[in-house]
Structure formats: structure tokens, C-alpha cells
Amino acid sequence: MRSYRLEGLGGTECLVMREEVRPEPSPQEIVVRVRATSLNRRDTMILNGTYPLTPRRGIVPLSDGAGEVVAIGDDVTRFAVGDRVTGSYFARWIDGRINAGLIDQLGCTLDGMLGEYAVLDEQWAVRVPEHLDWREAATLSCAGLTAWNALTGAEIPKPGQWVLVKGSGGVSLFALQFAKLLGCRVVAVTSRAEKVGKLRAMGADLVVSSTDMPEWGRWCVAKPAVSTLPSKPAARRPSRSR
């Protein structure tokens, strides 16, 4: 099988493709035939040596990927061959506050998804809903969960409330869609003119260009029309989500 290994830090020249023997699972592991992967900003930071957590040399990169289980260990109880799964970004963090013993991450300190097959402890994986295709499922673990936790972690927004999203990366796009599903109104801020139409098409009620209005943060939004900036400061600020 083919897989990529990170042999150093400093860019794509540190990525080495290897031909390796297809892995066999230990008693509590599953082997996953990877069908799709996705790239997050944290993956590029790991590649360039700017991520806060130092990656293990020779690690298989990428936290996010999805595929079907093709082999299971003798003690595995959560999955069967043929199940559709994706890995968990913080593999050992199940619940509660994170601590130093839970910071291991797929694609950084634990082998990730950039290969034809991935080996995961059965506790590091979750089932993929049937209505999601491989590419959709492969985007959830990092960007999707980050957006959901940012949006709902303190308090679930109520229908009609304003939510602010910044930029047009994966986390912001997930937050925009989640907010609309919750019945919220969304202000999207972007510095890239070519992204304005996409943000509107995805449901943003107001799109603000930070290039045209660099001091946009001084404005408060009350009842904007789509694509129209308020003419004066208003009474309410949108809630924030990154």
C-alpha cells in the first residue's frame, strides 16, 4: 500500500511517499480503507513547522479522512467489517476538560489518514451517517466540530439571533451553515472579493468586505438588508463564531 510520511518540517519536500505492507490490526484496532481525505489549516501548519504541538518524525499526516473498515482486531466490539467511519481529531479526548494526557492528535503525534489504509484504535473512530458521501464525511472531524463547538459550546443560539463568521475557510463555512440550520441570521466578513458571492449563495444575510471597510468591527448590526451596510451604528452586536 502507499502512504505519505512526514520526514522533517519545512514544506512539501518533507513529505515522502512510501510503499508499505498493508497493516494488520492489533486486538483493539480497526484497519480502514481510506476513501477521502481533507486538508485543514492545522495540517499545513504541521507541515511547515509552525504548529504548537511538535509532530512525531515519520508520522502519516492529516487528521481528517473517511473510509470503510476492512479488518478488525479480535477484541473490537464497536465496529464490523464494512462499516463506514471517520477518525477523531483528538483521538484520546472523549469528554470533559482537555489535559496534557489527552492532546494526542491524528496526523501529528498519531498516524493520520494520508494513505491508502489507516489503522485506528476502535475508540478513535466514529460511524459516518449514511446520507453523507465520502468527501462530505472527510471534512467533519476538525473544521466541522470546531465550528459546532464554537457556535453552541456556551449557549445554543436562538432563531433570529445574529451570528458573525470571519473569513471563508472551512470552520467559517461550517459555522455559517450550522447557524442557518438553527434559524439564525448571519453576518459574514471576508477580505476576498471573489468569496462574496459564495458566502451570499450559502445563506449569509449580510456580507461585509473588510478590504472596503477595514474598520467594520466598529459597526453594530441591527436589521441589515442583504448586502447593505448599516448607515449608522445600531443597538445590538452579533454574537461571534470563528
Reading the chain (242 residues) residue by residue, the pLDDT tens digits are 999 999 988 888 899 999 999 999 999 999 999 999 999 999 999 999 999 999 999 999 999 999 999 999 999 999 999 999 999 989 998 888 888 888 999 999 999 999 999 999 999 999 999 999 999 999 999 999 999 999 998 889 999 999 999 988 899 999 999 999 999 999 999 888 888 889 999 999 988 877 666 676 666 444 444 333 433 333 333 444 43
Predicted confidence at residue 242, as pLDDT, reads 38
For 8-33, the DSSP string reads SSSSGGGEEEEE-PPP---TTEEEEE
One-letter amino acid of 83: D
Residue type, 220: C
Contacts of 8 (CB under 8 A, 6+ apart): 14, 57
Residue type present at position 142: C
User: In this structure, what is the dihedral angle of CA atoms 134, 136, 138, 143, given to the nearest 10 degrees?
Assistant: 180
Phi, psi of 13 (to 5 degrees): -65, -15
**Predicted local confidence at residue 96, as pLDDT:** 84
Residue pLDDT, tens place only, 182-211: 999 999 998 888 888 899 999 999 888 776
pTM, rounded to two decimals: 0.80
Q: Which three cell numbers stand for residue 189?
A: 466578513
Q: Do the beta carbons of residue 2 and residue 116 sit within 8 Å? A: yes
CA distance 52 to 74: 36
Residue 4: per-residue pLDDT: 95
User: In this predicted structure, what is the pLDDT of residue 223?
Assistant: 43
CB contact at 8 A, 163 and 173 = no
| Distance (Å, whole) CA 190 – CA 216 | 11
190 within 8 A of 156, measured Cβ to Cβ:
no
Q: What is the pLDDT of residue 239?
A: 42
- Residue at grid coordinates 473517511: 66
Identify the pLDDT of residue 230. 39
Give the Cα separation of 231 and 220 in Å (integer). Answer: 10
Top-level class of domain 2-138: alpha beta
Domain extents in the chain:
2-138, 146-241
Helix axes 145-152, 170-181, angle to 10 degrees: 50
Same topology, domains 2-138 and 146-241? Answer is no
Q: What is the pLDDT of residue 8?
A: 86
Cell of 138: 472527510
Q: In DSSP terms, which residues pair with 54 in a beta bridge?
A: none
Separation CA 158–CA 176 (nearest Å): 14
Name the grid cell of 94: 472523549
Q: How far apart are CA 122 and CA 229, in angstroms?
A: 50
Overall fold of domain 146-241 = Rossmann fold (3.40.50)
List the one residue out of 167, 170, 163, 164 whose CA is nearest residue 210.
Answer: 167
Q: Which pLDDT belongs to residue 241?
A: 42
